[in-house]
């Protein structure tokens, strides 16, 4: 379907139609089969906990586990295209930049945003700190994007 973004792994597919609607926090209860399909995407969750029960990982904000498809894609990127994305003009940097921007556009489309509205951060703490900084600068009438300089309308 045109305009539909598919996020796909070897075992699980999520489209915009199965993702949460904007402004909602969940997609509803998942069946046991759906939970098993999602768990099967994460190699880390295949190992048992110390008590032999299925492992439950609850520290996602600090360190998120990656689905097998992400691990494979990252490994391929590092094998074939690793370069200084957005920082240089040699071939590998250009390829890395194109890959990075394609990923940004795909994620932005999936969440209903424009690429320029999406910020990649290294973790949840950095993302929260950036939001707090932007709110702080906005309350002072300053632009966080310009390193705290007065907003353009305030410039002499």
Q: What is the pLDDT of residues 31-48, one digit of tens each?
A: 889 988 988 999 988 889
The whole-number pLDDT of residue 13 equals: 53
pTM, rounded to two decimals: 0.60
- Domain boundaries defined on the chain: 1-59, 121-156
Three state DSSP letters for the chain = CCCCCEEECCCCEEECCCCCCCCCCCCCCCCHHHHHHHHHCCHHHHCECCCCCECCCCCCCCCCCCCHHHHHHHHHHHHHCCCCCCCCCCHHHHHHHHHHHHHHHHHHHHHCCCHHHCCCCCCHHHHHHHHHHHHHHHHCCECHHHCCCECHHHCC
């Amino acid at each position: 379907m045109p305009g539909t973004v598919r996020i796909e792994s070897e075992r699980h597919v999520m489209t915009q139609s199965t993702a949460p609607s904007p402004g909602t926090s969940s997609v509803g209860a998942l069946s046991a089969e759906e939970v098993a399909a999602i768990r099967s995407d994460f190699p880390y969750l295949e190992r048992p906990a110390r008590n032999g029960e299925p492992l439950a990982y609850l520290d996602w904000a600090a360190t998120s586990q990656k689905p097998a498809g992400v691990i494979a894609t990252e490994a391929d990127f590092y094998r074939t295209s690793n370069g200084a994305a957005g920082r240089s003009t040699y071939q590998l940097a250009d390829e890395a930049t194109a890959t990075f921007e394609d990923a940004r556009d795909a994620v932005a489309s999936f969440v209903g945003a424009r690429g320029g509205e999406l910020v990649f951060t290294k973790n949840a703490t950095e993302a929260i700190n950036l939001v707090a900084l932007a709110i702080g600068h906005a309350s002072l009438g300053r632009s966080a994007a310009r390193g705290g300089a007065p907003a353009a309308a305030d410039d002499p």
